[in-house]
Structure 1
Amino acid sequence: MRLVWTLLFALASSVAFAASPEDDYIAARDKAIADIAAREASNVEVETLDATNTKALADLQQRLSAILGPLAVKDFPATGTINLESLSASDIGFGMLDGLRYAKSDEGPSIVATTRGLTDRWLQSKADGDDESLRLPTGLDEALKLDAFYTQAIGADAAFVKTLDFSLQKPDGADIAIARLGGWTQDVGPIYDQQVVVAVVKGDRVLIAEAPASPPVPKIAACEALWTAADATAQKFQETYQGSDLKDQQAYDSANAAWEKGDSDYRACMGERLPGDPAFPALLAQAQQLADHMAGK
């Protein structure tokens, strides 16, 4: 009888501690990252590294597809490709959010889908990072309100900069629904090709949609004037920059400060004035429709 109970206990324990599909995915991902890092340290040829990276990403994509199942969001394909762009820490696109990206084209709308568990693990890794400027809060609702979340989660070679937050009606069944208007940039100043970005959390699923603003975000003269004036001031400082002595460094710093203030003033102006523009209701409707569709409407 004691043997029977021992066997039953061992069986129950093995079930209780069995790795979940998400655990298996994370283990496979980390193993692939370590393998690529070791090969890089051994000066393996680039072609071999690329092949290793491609094969590992394909395996991880298959694992994520099994975890997530088909996507069921209107106007989006059912199958996706892995959101990670590289497993090499030396490459652009390393460390993005673990999930699948669904899109009909590279230029059109896309959705990155993942689970709450994978998102929580990813946020924890960003909270523990060595680089303070890249750290994120571990709470998902708090993280979704930050530009840095979208920059690191779904961007690769540019930063997401918010113009404004939309006031959404949270769809039925959604736990969180956040929508923002903004754009991707590598510099300060106006961003004319803006995106509507919507995040919906429903149960175990986290969905982040990105679509070109429709209609395009209009130029607002008062905001353009703020940036033009700031740019002119910065250019004057920059003209005095000659080299690396203290005076030149001060000119360089003053130019950057003028650009950064101009950028901040411009975005604040757009956030204040755009809701009164005739184009705004359509932009809000676009964000709401994305949120509704992701929530299952």
Structure 2
Amino acid sequence: MLRIWLAAAVALLSCASLCAATPAEDAYFAARQAAVAKVKAAVDANTKEEVVQKLEESERAELLKQLSALVGPKPQGYERSELSPESLAPDSPGGDALDAVVYAKAEKDPSIAVTTQGVANAWLAAVRADPESQNLNLPSTLPDALKAVNFYSLAIGGDAAFSLHAPIPTSADPSAVALLGAFAQDVGPTAPNALVVSVLRGDLLYVIQAQPAKAPKPSTACQALWKTFEQKAKKAQKAYQASKEKDESQLEAAQKAEAEGEEAWRQCFAKALKPDDLAALGKQADELVKLLP
């Protein structure tokens, strides 16, 4: 996470026309970097864990106030808010997440992450400048990045990766992008568990995450297709183990079979979606957009 925010400092200087940060956003960036530095210094000094935790909670609370002032009114019916990312500690899971105010209710209710386009553009530029993230191939502009699967893995996924099952048609807002997909940590296909809707409105970016109201179960044909690739992966994995983990080509073959199997499963699932399924999910996406101020 510290790596991303060091990159952000450079990115802000090199993308003035794209990021167009306001003085208030510049103040937030400065406070954000100072907070990260304080927490890192405490960790490096082997400070007691409970002391570091209290320091981090205090710094995150101040950053939440500052960012909340930048994003303005709360979404309708939402009172509780938290700061993203969840931690300021170096190398923490999800520590490179997009800075946003995240509004939430109960676990089953939609969550709404809100940030300014200036903050989002600076974060995007920093990710693209980071050598360890360049293989994600994120687009350089925010509207295009919102259509990219890897944006959601890094921005809001925490330590889970986002996989796309199908784009969902929505007409609630000209800028809206709705994606049916799944956040997961495990290898192998995962049934859709998230409907993500992103909206650029004014100078703000909203990312809504909800449980799909209608998510058809994977067909037996799709499951059988995955099993074929899974068997190939297991065979290659056994060969790798038999070589006493020296034959890297077998390990690569296992990983390739798993990746190709997941993609084949997702394509199979998408083809099985019926017009009624897409219409129902599109209606849900439209209703989610109505939650925004």
- Choose 157-166 or 89-98, whichever is displaced more: 89-98
Q: Look up the match of 1:168.
A: 170
Q: Look up the match of 1:285.
A: 283
Distance in 1, Cα, partners of 2:143 & 2:49: 40
Closer, same or farther in 2 for the Cα pair 1:90/1:71, shift >3 Å?
A: same
Letter in 1 for 2:37: A
Distance in 2, Cα, partners of 1:42 & 1:135: 36
Distance in 2, Cα, partners of 1:96 & 1:258: 29
Q: Look up the match of 2:48.
A: 45
Q: Is the 8 A contact 1:29 1:60 kept in 2?
A: yes
Q: Is the 8 A contact 2:163 2:181 kept in 1?
A: yes
Higher relative contact order (CA 8 A, sep 6+): 2
Map 1:154-233 → 2, pairs under 5 A: 154-171=156-173, 174=174, 176-233=175-232
Q: Is the 8 A contact 2:97 2:156 kept in 1?
A: yes
Distance in 2, Cα, partners of 1:60 & 1:156: 19
Structure 1 unaligned segments of length 5 or more: list them: 1-18
1:151: Cα distance to partner? 1.1
- What RMSD over aligned residues (CA atoms) do the two structures have, in Å? 2.1
Q: Look up the match of 2:19.
A: none
1:164: Cα distance to partner? 1.0
Closer, same or farther in 2 for the Cα pair 1:113/1:87, shift >3 Å?
A: same
TM-score by length of 2: 0.85
Map 1:68-147 → 2, pairs under 5 A: 68-73=71-76, 76-131=77-132, 132-134=134-136, 136-147=138-149
Letter in 2 for 1:111: I
- Choose 149-158 or 39-48, whichever is displaced more: 39-48
Residues 140-191 of structure 1: per-residue CA shift (max 9 Å, x gap): 01110111111111121101111111122252xx5x1100000111233221
Larger Rg: 1
Closer, same or farther in 2 for the Cα pair 1:244/1:48, shift >3 Å?
A: farther
Distance in 1, Cα, partners of 2:150 & 2:47: 33
Distance in 1, Cα, partners of 2:249 & 2:125: 39
1:21: Cα distance to partner? 2.2
Distance in 2, Cα, partners of 1:252 & 1:20: 50
Q: Look up the match of 2:151.
A: 149
- Choose 196-205 or 223-232, whichever is displaced more: 223-232
1:284: Cα distance to partner? 2.2
Distance in 2, Cα, partners of 1:226 & 1:117: 44
Q: Is the 8 A contact 1:70 1:78 kept in 2?
A: no
Closer, same or farther in 2 for the Cα pair 1:95/1:256, shift >3 Å?
A: closer
1:254: Cα distance to partner? 2.1
Distance in 1, Cα, partners of 2:126 & 2:248: 36
Residues 222-263 of structure 1: per-residue CA shift (max 9 Å, x gap): 222211211122223333333555774333322222111111
For the residue of structure 2 that corresponds to 1:256, the secondary structure is helix
1:291: Cα distance to partner? 2.7
Poorly superposed stretches of 4+, deviation over 6 Å:
none
- Between the two proteins, the alignment pairs up a number of residues equal to 271
- Choose 199-208 or 85-94, whichever is displaced more: 85-94
Letter in 2 for 1:143: A
Structure 2 unaligned segments of length 5 or more: list them: 1-21
- Choose 176-185 or 118-127, whichever is displaced more: 118-127
TM-score by length of 1: 0.84
